[in-house]
Amino acid sequence: MSQLQENLDNVNKVLSSYSGRDKFVRTLSFLLSLKAQSSPKKEALLALAKQCSAARMVLRQFNHPSMIKACQQLLNTTPSDPVDYACTATVTGVYTVYGFVELFAWLSDARIVALDTARLFRWCLYLWITALVAGIIRQIRLISKKGLEKANEDIITLVGLASDFMFVAMRILVTGAAGFIGSHTTLELVEAGYEVMCIDNFSNSVSDGKGNAVSLLRVAELVGKTIPFQECDVCDIEKLDQVFAKGNFDGLIHLAALKAVGESVEKPYEYYSNNLTASLNLIKMCQKYNVKNFIFSSSATVYGSPKELPITEDAPTGQGITNPYGQTKYMMEQILIDVGKAHPDWNIVLLRYFNPVGAHPSGRIGEDPRGIPNNLMPFVSQVAIGRLPVLKIFGDKWDTPDGTGVRDYIHIVDLARGHVKALDRIQKLGHIGTEIYNLGTGRGYSVKEMIAALEKASGRRVPTEIGVPRPGDIACVYCDPAKAAKMLEWKAEFGLDEMSRDLWNWQTQNPNGFSQA
């Protein structure tokens, strides 16, 4: 099969899910991209294709049901009303202009003059504001005829519709979406009104045997809608390219990574290769497809062994990191900071997680580690339910109140909502540059406190034994979350009792995790 035929087949597969004006404009965009490969004006053609892709993201909002209802409510129109027709015709006209610009570029190599996306958005916004002003004037004139009470009812309805419309749902790619953090984050995104596309390679999650992620099927049950999912290894750049080509994404949340600290010491090559390659592939795709909003799943491990507590975002990073996993997070932070400097129009948010625990309060999704758990609380709960015989505590002579290590544990739902708040901030301000936030509670709990809390929630005793401290372990780590509270308007809502209650609820409902065995 020739390369051209293969490209055309891929185009047909992508276009099969689109119809109407979107299909027309997308077809021309693909033709432009194909022509660009053999054209002396390659860069100009590709730039035009990107302009049109961005414009579609603005234009599609004018098919939003709230826009249609709001126009009719404001202007008391029917579809045949001249004003309503004029609004529809204007949007159709802009689509058509874009189509002809692309068609002209396809048919000739003459000078290309691309419309400016920002200017187009202003035109559409002016149209909306004009309709709003005209509608308010009309409502005022109708007060004497309809009565003040009825007019107020119309205006209240209008405000609700306008508010719904003015929230432009961003389309977000979530990598590692079937995992513990990914599934909870996906749920919170959908409930907040974001559109999602989820990908995962099942390296640390469960498939139903039909290519579906069991965790995301349960998320779909909880939110009442289908969650788009595709099996994809982010290290496979060709498959990732196909996801981006079809996705039309506004941003991404990058959660996919190998994450077991102990395993990373035993398999450093695998961790550096996987975690760095995956992230670099995503950056490359974002550059190619003009995706400028990038939220990265970082970790408190970048702080190494902190000299001061609580840890603020200004604390030194990269010093005293004792494992390859932490090094990959630190290295990716530095790469993304450099990308932000090279592309000042990008929005990059680095979220430094502390220790996520718990599960969704429904008990339908939670942490299902493969093999022996690497994190404390899944290990504690599996001992409590009888899947494991005893919990080993790594040292009880630390310089802490009860001699065991202290960490900042955060409920998984709180952590997931931190991602939503980061996107909300981008949505609200438009441009924020590169920002870094701690996601934690701001207080530490010892290993013994965590065990006691789970014993309280479960009503069961957890057998323990004392072992020697692991290399690289430190006595106490907890963060200062004040920056996230101020800038993201986010704070942890759940305490230790809720973390333990929800974890035990998940464990008892799913004694074998997502497995049906």
Instruction: Please list the active-site residues.
Output: 325
| Residue 284: other Cβ atoms inside 10 A | 14
Give the gyration radius of the chain's Cα atoms: 26
What phi and psi values does residue 466 have, to the nearest 5 degrees?
-95, 130
DSSP H stretches of helix in 355-481: 376-385, 412-429, 447-458
Give the C-alpha separation, 278 to 203, whole Å: 13
Q: Please, are residues 58 and 120 in contact by the beta-carbon 8 Å criterion?
A: yes
Strands 434-439 and 355-357: unpaired
User: What does DSSP assign to residue 486?
Assistant: I
Give the C-alpha separation, 169 to 163, whole Å: 12
| Residue 268: other Cβ atoms inside 10 A | 15
The contacts of residue 121 (CB under 8 Å, 6+ apart) are: 58
- Please state the separation of Cα 331 from the chain's center in Å: 21
Q: Please, are residues 450 and 409 in contact by the beta-carbon 8 Å criterion?
A: yes
Read off the amino acid at residue 203.
Answer: S
The contacts of residue 244 (CB under 8 Å, 6+ apart) are: 173, 285, 288, 289, 291
Full DSSP string of 280-319 = HHHHHHHHHTT--EEEEEEEGGGG-S-SSSSBPTTS--SS
Give the C-alpha separation, 430 to 293, whole Å: 10
The contacts of residue 372 (CB under 8 Å, 6+ apart) are: 379, 388
Q: Please, are residues 65 and 160 in contact by the beta-carbon 8 Å criterion?
A: no
Say whether 65 sits in a helix, a strand or coil: helix
Give the C-alpha separation, 354 to 297, whole Å: 11
3-state secondary structure 410-430: EEHHHHHHHHHHHHHHHHHHC
Q: Please, are residues 284 and 300 in contact by the beta-carbon 8 Å criterion?
A: no
Give the C-alpha separation, 495 to 338, whole Å: 37
Give the C-alpha separation, 202 to 279, whole Å: 17
What tokens appear for 264 in the block? 């990373």
118 CB-contact burial (10 Å; exposed 0-12 / middle 13-18 / buried 19+)? exposed
